[in-house]
Amino acid sequence: MSAFLTKYKALIAFLILTGLSACNKPSYPIGKIEESVLKLCKNEYKLDNVKIKILGSTLGVYIPVEGLIDPDLKLNEKAGKKIENVALSIHRVITSTDMPLKFYILTARDTKTTGAEFILTGFVYDVIRVRLFDISRGEYFQRILRDFRFNPAIAGEQKVKELFNALDQNTSIAESLKPIFYPIYTIGKKDSQKIEITDIESKELSDRESLFYVKTTEGYEASPGFEAYLTVFPPGFKNEYLILVDMSSFISPVKEIVSKYFYSNNEIRERSLKDTFEQYKDFGVIGIDGFPKKDMDLGWFLSQQISRRIKSIFEEDKKLKDDFKVASSQGEIKDKAFWFKFNITSNSNQAMDEKIIFSKIIKMAGTVLHLYAFEEYESVEFINTALGEKKVYLSKKDLERFRKNEIKIDSLL
Amino acid sequence: MKLMTYRKLRMHFTEHWVKIAIGLALIILLILAIWGMMSLESFYRNLTIAQMPISILLAGLNAGIFVFMYMTFLHGGFSKIKQAAVKGQDVNIHWGDVIGMEEAKQEAKEVVDLIKDRTKLLKIGGKILKGLLMVGPPGCGKTYLAKAIATEAGIPFISMSGSEFTEIFVGVGASRVRKLFKKARNLAYGHGACIIFIDELDAIGRQRSFSFMGGGQETNSTQNQLLVEMDGLQEKDYNVIIIGATNAAEGVLDEALLRPGRFDRKIYIDRPNLQEREKVFDYYLKKVKCDQDIDIGRLARQAVHKSPAEIENMIKEAALIATRNQKETVGHKELSEAMERIDMGLKHRKHMTKEEKEMVAFHETGHLVVMYMLHPTDDVFKASIISRKESLGVVHSQPREELYTHNKEKLLADIKVSISGYVAEKIRFGTTSTGVSSDFKKSMQIASYMVWRLGMSDAGYIGDYTAIPENLLSESLKEKLNAETDKIIKNCLKDVEDLLKKEWPIVERFAKKLIEKEELEYDEIEAIFKECGKSHNCKKPA
């Protein structure tokens, strides 16, 4: 036995090391993720207002930050440091856990400036790879999604609340709005009406527009002659409203208010606002509570990453930046089909520019999808809205062939 | 007992403090590393463990290169002693194993007693033994005896060869001597005593030479260091005994080395005598399967002047021959062949004409018959006309006993044996061959030696004339001495001629037998002579 031990010292040491690695327990096991992130933020960075929520394989982290943006609408340096610290805590936890997390979304929202938020979305495997020096830090920064924006739902909700508060004031604007809030301002005694918001749901319709489904409890005293309505609308009855807010209009952001009840053809009618609200698609990722609205998937993440990379291609290269101008870039995946819509114009308007734009973008998209070994798609469509909706459609196979230089851009255009 | 345990522990610490310090440091580092690793998050822990084999490999490689460079270039790596000390008990050679050197063994036993009873010796005011020099021809068991001393004394034993001290760089040998003695003193401190055995002492113990060109400086400095260390031992109370072994004559070694206080005692280990050889044969033959009828006495007589190592080699060779001959045991034939191979070399048959073969056969027969019938001390063991080395034939003889002086009769017999080949050729063929040249050379040398140096001429020239410078010798004296030399040869020639003519039928018979069989063994030769009613002139040993 001792001879065996002496002879195979190196092998035994290796086996011990392998054994050690096998029985290596995760530092942040399943069930302690939230607690761990909070503990790290609190103990190491003195941040005690962080909130955590896990949705499937997505870790949502929310931190309200005072003074997120400077007066010049740029990210505040101190706030940036806080975000960095929280992100570091998240990275530490997601790399040392046995929970199969795929994504993390960190939302930092300004406590003062309504709707201003910074969203950091990352793929867990990218964090591991950059820590293993498998990808460069430059590549890593291209892979994470950083959004600094005004959330129309947050700002809109504020406007909705202001609207209801305004009804109590005797202003000319309030007087003009009151008839829309049917029926209490029609059947109630003046100054006896009271509307209390019990619930608000919102949907982001675009970068600026948001739709709100508001539930209320309403009280009033019936005006003389309207006592009969007390049986239909007893004081304290439940009402609902749909309110469309467009934040691009600073003066009158509330564009439309729809009440559940309305009077038509001499009778009181009602409509299902909830059904109407449900019919609208929500383009927002982050909810009012600061957490993601749903579990992330790699397809969506890649569509967003590629759309951002499209911008960066023409903005980071000096020559391309001089020759081209990128106005917008969007991406999405639906029914296993990617589409990327961008607006890129050439400063010189040369014939070759179209080829350059598409070849650069298609090559980049193919490379990104290949690097992530993403297979869950069937086609990719590229649309340049600046070139008369010039479209290039490629199947997955063709995209791969183009990446390998097996087909030329001329055959695609 | 407690003191010895303490001393042993202290000795081990002194000797291995670097290793102990490194070991402790490694253990502390290992604990810190494990502690550090446990405080890492699992991601970095996994990463560290995954990288550990390659990290260890690279660190080991770097450390190895660094240590090699450091030891080689900065820390006298060349002077490192590779020889590790062994415990006396581990050598495991006891007095019973030492054979063929009874006198030396007795002296060695005394030495062991002195080492063991050091305290007793000190009480009566005796001088502690410091060095023991074993002198003798190679293969006589000097190293073996030293090992037996180590085993019987039960103390650590460091064995080194004199050549291990010599290097191209000046000072390296001296440095090695210093390190060797430091190590020995440490061991002596822990175990009570230590033996340093330096084999081939003459490599560093030769008389120091002083050359203006600086030659021999390294050997000188090594020897100087050895002298200092041996002297130094007397000042300090360490029981370190140096045993030196050399083949070189006493005059070769430096006088300073041989003076009392250094190698105070000398043991001469010579080749074994007849009784000792018998014991050696008996000892080694027990280690191989051999025939029951082997005559050890005859083998011992045959192996005159052979060292125990040569005897051992002979038996090993015989075992190989027996294996080659598909025999299960070693017989006299194999032993004889082995001895012949060692003494006379391998046979290689040359293609000779019938006449040449006949000439050689008569030549060798002449030697054989004269040797048998006239030689007073030597015995014929074999006659052969198979060529070996440069000779076409050979008559193998050995003295029956070691003779350290030779009388006139023996020398005359040697001359007669030498020229008998010539005489036999001349009688048989009426002419002679070139085969006599070495015989004549030998006979002339003996005759000249007898006359010029030993005063053995009949004319009464007594004294060693070679001691007188040649220009002081008169020409007439030289002529007379040479004439005496010639006279001895001629007288011998006449005696041989008379003998061979008288015994010519025996000569013819042996020659015929030799041509027929090419080789005649001792027993066959004896049988033919007995048949012819002749007996050996040789006196049987007492």
**pLDDT at residue B542 in the model:** 39
Residues B504 and B479 in one domain: yes
Residue ending a domain, among B210, B239, B268, is B268
pLDDT one-digit tens code per residue, A348-363: 766 678 888 999 999 9
Phi, psi of B88 (to 5 degrees): -55, -40
* pLDDT, average across residues B243-248: 84
Mean pLDDT in residue range B522-538: 80
Q: Which residue do the tokens 């003998």 mark?
A: B499
Residues B474 and B378 reside in one and the same domain: yes
Under the banding of pLDDT at 50, 70 and 90, the label for residue B87 is: low
Boundary of a domain, candidates A119, A149, A179: A149
Q: What does the pLDDT look like over B17-68, one tens digit per residue?
A: 889 999 999 899 988 988 888 888 888 888 888 888 898 899 999 999 988 8
Is residue A134 located within the same domain as residue A62? yes
Tell the burial category of B507 from Cβ atoms under 10 Å away from its Cβ (0-12, 13-18, 19+): buried
Question: Which chain B residue is nearest to residue A93, measuring alpha carbons?
Answer: B41
Q: Do A137 and A203 belong together in one domain?
A: no
Judgement on whether residues B31 and B110 belong to the same structural domain of the protein: no
Which CATH number covers residue A405? 3.30.70
Instruction: Tell whether B102 and B73 lie within a shared domain.
Output: no
Confirm or reject contact between B46 and chain A (CB < 8 A).
yes
Q: Which of A250, A279, A308 is the last residue of a domain?
A: A279
CB-based contact A14 B42, cutoff 8 Å: no
- The first and second tokens of residue A112, run together, are 């003062």
Q: Which of A143-147, B317-321, B329-333, B422-426 has the lowest mean pLDDT?
A: B329-333
Q: Are residues B57 and B143 in the same domain?
A: no
Q: Which residues of B touch A128 (CB under 8 A)?
A: 43
Residue B540 lies in a domain: no
Q: Are residues B395 and B517 in the same domain?
A: yes
Q: Residue A190: which domain range? A: 155-279
pLDDT at B80: 56
pLDDT, position B237: 64
Taking only the tens place, the pLDDT of each residue in A245-302 is: 998 887 888 899 999 988 888 888 889 999 999 999 888 888 888 999 999 999 999 9
Instruction: Say which of B45, B46, B53 has its CB closest to residue A14.
Output: B53
Domain presence at residue A1: no
Question: Is the domain of A113 the same as that of A223?
Answer: no
Query: Are B405 and B451 members of one domain?
Result: yes
Q: What is the ipTM score, two decimals?
A: 0.75
Q: Do A131 and B43 touch (CB under 8 A)?
A: yes
Domain assignment present for A12:
no
In this structure, how many other beta carbons lie within 10 angstroms of the beta carbon of residue A312? 14
The answer to whether A213 and A200 are in contact (CB under 8 A) is: yes
B46/A17 touch (CB, cutoff 8 Å), yes or no: no
Please indicate, yes or no, whether residues A112 and A163 belong to a single structural domain of this protein.
Answer: no
Give Cβ neighbours of residue A244 (< 8 Å, ≥ 6 apart): A205, A209, A210, A211, A212, A254, A255, A256, A257
Q: Distance between CA B23 and CA B30 in Å, rounded?
A: 10
Tell me whether the omega of the peptide bond preceding residue A235 falls within 30 degrees of 0, making it cis.
no
**Residue B541 within any structural domain of the chain:** no
Indicate the pTM of the whole model: 0.55
CA gap B192, B167 in Å, rounded: 32
Say how far residue A204 (Cα) sits from the centre of its chain.
10
**B41 touches A at CB < 8 Å:** yes
Determine which of A345-349, B233-237, B269-273, B448-452 has the lowest per-residue pLDDT on average.
Answer: B233-237
User: CATH number, domain at A238?
Assistant: 3.10.450
Kindly list the distances between the CA atom of residue A203 and the CA atoms of A261, A333, A334, in Å, as whole numbers in the listed order: 22, 20, 19
Q: Tell me which range, A196-205, B29-38, B147-156, is most confidently predicted by mean pLDDT.
A: A196-205
Q: Are residues A204 and A270 in the same domain?
A: yes
* Domain match, A261 and A185 both: yes
Q: What is the mean pLDDT of residues B301-314?
A: 83
Domain assignment of residue B478, given as a range: 354-531
More confident residue, A409 or A366: A366
| A404 and A362 assigned to the same domain | yes
The answer to whether the beta carbons of residues A76 and A69 sit under 8 Å apart is yes
Residues B397 and B510 placed together within one structural domain of the fold? yes
Does residue A9 form part of some domain? no
CA-to-CA separations, B417 to B363, B368, B438, B481, in angstroms, rounded:
11, 8, 12, 23
- Give how many domains chain A has, as a whole number: 3
Choose the final residue of a domain: B268, B295, B318: B268
Residue A219 sits in the same domain as residue A162: yes
Using CA coordinates, name the residue in chain A closest to B43: A96
My answer on whether B422 and B477 are in the same domain is: yes
**B536 within a domain of the structure (yes/no):** no
Residues A177 and A254 in one domain: yes
Can you give B220-234 as a three-state secondary structure string?
Answer: HHHHHHHHHHHHHHH
Q: CB of B159 within 8 A of CB of B83?
A: yes
Is residue A288 domain-resident? no
How is chain A split among helix, strand and coil, in percent rounded to 5? 40, 30, 30
Indicate if the alpha-carbon torsion angle A236, A237, A238, A243 is positive or negative: negative
In chain A, the N- to C-terminal Cα span, in Å, equals 74
One domain, residues B334 and B238: no
A330, A347, A362, A392, A401 from A323: Cα distances, Å: 21, 5, 18, 21, 28
Q: Are residues A160 and A260 in the same domain?
A: yes
Whole-number Å distance between alpha carbons of A294 and A282: 11
**Do A141 and A168 share a domain, yes or no?**
no
- Total count of domains within chain B: 4
Q: Tell me, what CATH number does B334's domain have?
A: 1.10.8.60
Final residue of a domain: which of A221, A249, A279? A279
Which of B42, B52, B56 is nearest residue A26 as measured by Cβ atoms? B42
CATH number of the domain residue B170 falls in: 3.40.50.300
Cα B415 from chain centroid?
Answer: 30
Answer with the one of B268, B283, B308 that is the final residue of a domain: B268
Is residue A35 a contact partner of residue A54, using CB atoms and an 8 Å limit? no
* Residue B539 in domain: no
In chain A, pLDDT over 90 holds for what percent of residues? Answer: 53
Instruction: Evaluate if residue B416 carries a pLDDT over 80.
Output: yes
pLDDT of B89 reads 62
Q: Which helix (H) or strand (E) holds A331?
A: strand A324-334
Dihedral sign of CA atoms A398, A403, A406, A409 in order: positive
B175 falls within a domain? yes
Across the range A310-330, mean pLDDT stands at 89
DSSP one-letter code for B351: -
Q: Which residues, including other chains, have CB under 8 Å from residue B360's CB and lie 6 or more apart?
A: B352, B385, B392, B393, B435
What single string gives the DSSP state of each residue in A32-78?
-HHHHHHHHHHHHH-----EEEEETTEEEEEEEETT-B-TTSSB-HH
Residues B283 and B246 in one domain: no
Residue A229 lies in a domain: yes
State yes or no: pLDDT of B211 exceeds 80: no
